Structure formats: C-alpha cells, structure tokens
Amino acid sequence: MKNPFQKTQMQQLETTIASLTNRGEQLAAKRVTAHDALDKAIKSRQQTLLSGDLDDQRTLDKLQGAVDTAASTLAGIDDVLAVLAQQKAEAESQLAAECERVERAAAADKLDKQVVAIEAALPGYLEQSRALADALSKIGDWHFESGQMAGFLQNTMGQIEIAANFALAELKALPEAIRQGRQAIPREPVPTPVAVPEPPPTVTIFMLRSAHYLDHDGRKRFAGQWEDATMPVATAQRVLDKGIAVAVTDPRRAQLRGARGGDFNPHAPDVVDLDAVEENTGVPHIEPDPVLRQANFTPVDRSAEARTIQIEVPRL
C-alpha cells in the first residue's frame, strides 16, 4: 500500500528546485558582499603603493593577503553558483520529463477507456442496425422509402465493419505509443474566440417629433416626441440637421420632456421615417479664389448705360 505521506517524484523535484533557488539567492547576496570586499582591498593596496611606505613589507604583505583572500572568496562563490545553476537545470529538465510522463500516462489511460467504450458499443450498434435493416427489407418490396433505408443501412454496416477492423487495431496500440513518447498526446480542440465588434459611438438628443431610425445593427427603432433618444452619432447628426430633434442642452427639453406621458403610436401618420427623408442634394457652396477675394473688386451695374455700336454695311 502506498504511503499517503510519501512524496511523489514530481513533488520531490519541485522541492529540490525550490531549495536550489533559495540557496542560489543566498549565495548571490554573499557574492555582492564578497565583491565589495575585493574592491575595497584592491583600493587599499593601490593607495598604499601610490603614497605609502614601500619599505614597510609587513603592511604590503597584509594588504596583498587581504586582496588574495577576497578574490579567493569571490571565486569560490562563483564556482558554487555555477554548480547550483547546473544542478537546477538538471532538476528542471527532470521535472519537465516527469510532467510529460504524467501527462502522457493520463492521456493514454483516457484513450484506453475510450477505445473500450467504442469496442463495447460497436457490436450492439451492428446488431440493432441489422435488425432494423431486416425489418425494413420485409416491406421494402412495396414501400420504396423503406427499401432505400434498408439498402443504406446494409451498405453502412458493411463499411463500418471493415473500417472498424483497421481502426480498432490501431486505436488499441496508440495508448502504449503515447506512454512511450512515440505518439503525440491527443489535444482537445481549442475553441476560437469570436471577436465581438464594438458598437459605434452614440449620442443622446431630445426629439421634437416622433421618428423611426436604424440602430448600428440595422434594426428599426422608435423615438417618441418630447423624449430623449440615444442613437448613432451619424444618425443623430442627420436628425439635428433636419430639425427633428435638438441637443439635450436646448431649453425646450426642460419644458417639454415627458409631456406626452408615453402616449405614442409608432404607426401614426405624423411619425417621421428617417430612412425615407431625402438628403439635401443642393449644389455645394464654392468659396471664391483667395486672391480675388483680397483684391476687393467692386461689381458695377452697367445694365442701364446707353451703348452705341457702329457697323459697316455696303451701299446700294
């Protein structure tokens, strides 16, 4: 019987990796201290060699010893950190392999059960199909549709029996191939998220008349007179341009809002259908040339002036 308190190999590897990581962090902190100590020892030796007593060999030896000790300490920590990194990499590799082994075992066990279910259901399906085909065949001589269904069932049963002989043999071998890593782990299809388009920006306006309009989905909506209506910006601008509504800052909104008390008939003849309102098709205003505008020419009306025109005609 398995001891419930005994750690699995995966748990042991996870514990080992956590321990190595913690040890590495501690050594990294000690390395910072050792590096600072080495820098300090090197600077002290340098300062003495630059301005100290060069005949004081005892002091020089002491400073050199401090440098050697600090350098050796730093080198020792670097060596241990390299060993820790190698051990951690090996443990992580073993953990990844163990995770894959566990995943493969679970996938193989799942497929084993699925194959058993298929193999158990197949004889019953064939038996029931055969019974149905026999029953339909008995009336197929005089009932056309029954005869067609009987033929379809017999043809399908034959194809399924042939295919099952190959498929089941392959399916039974797949679980062991999955466990040994010779077959990819079957993956469930991942549903593709459907991007939902964001609706266009809307604006709220105050309706002076009842109207029908289309929302951003193309659905027909109703906006009642003397009520607020929220609609796409382009539609609202068109309504404002037609004088069918005003901005919510208009003073008429404070006086008239809700005056009808919700008494609306969307099919009344006075309801404006914005889809049927024609857009302005007038000729657009064309700005004059800026050079001519700056010249300040003054038009002169010469329509009342008398004009004399001389023409030449042949004499008779």
User: What amino acid occupies position 18?
Assistant: A
87 plus 122 within the same structural domain: no
Angular region, 230: left φ>0, alpha ψ -120 to 50, beta rest: beta
pLDDT in tens, the chain (316 residues): 455 555 788 899 999 999 999 999 999 999 999 999 999 999 999 999 999 999 999 999 999 999 999 999 999 999 999 999 999 999 999 999 999 999 999 999 999 999 999 999 999 999 999 999 999 999 989 999 999 999 999 999 999 999 999 999 999 999 999 999 999 999 888 888 888 778 788 999 999 999 999 888 888 899 999 999 999 888 889 889 989 999 999 999 988 888 888 888 888 888 888 877 654 444 444 444 554 455 555 555 555 555 565 656 566 5
**109 Cβ neighbours under 8 A, 6+ residues apart:** 175
Other Cβ atoms less than 10 A from the Cβ of 216: the count is 15
The string of DSSP codes covering 115-146 is HHHHHHHHHHHHHHHHHHHHHHHTTTTT-HHH
- The two structure tokens encoding residue 295: 């010249």
Instruction: Classify 305 as helix, strand or coil.
Output: coil
Tell me, rounded to whole angstroms, the distance of Cα 8 from its chain centroid.
37
26 plus 100 within the same structural domain: yes
How far is residue 159's CA from residue 167's CA, in Å, rounded to a whole number?
12
21 plus 58 within the same structural domain: yes
Instruction: Classify 247 as helix, strand or coil.
Output: strand
Q: Report, in angstroms and rounded to the nearest whole number, the Rg of the chain calculated over CA atoms.
A: 47
93 plus 23 within the same structural domain: yes
**Would you say residue 187 lies in a domain?**
no
**Would you say residue 234 lies in a domain?**
yes
Which contacts qualify for 65-70: CB closer than 8 Å, 24 or more apart? 66/41, 67/38, 67/41, 67/42, 69/41, 70/34, 70/37, 70/38, 70/40, 70/41, 70/42
Give me the domain span that covers residue 243: 202-278
Q: How many domains does the chain contain in total?
A: 3
**Would you say residue 2 lies in a domain?**
no
**171 Cβ neighbours under 8 A, 6+ residues apart:** 111, 115, 118
**Would you say residue 209 lies in a domain?**
yes
How far is residue 86's CA from residue 97's CA, in Å, rounded to a whole number?
17
Which pairing describes strands 202-207 and 228-232: parallel, antiparallel, or unpaired?
Answer: antiparallel
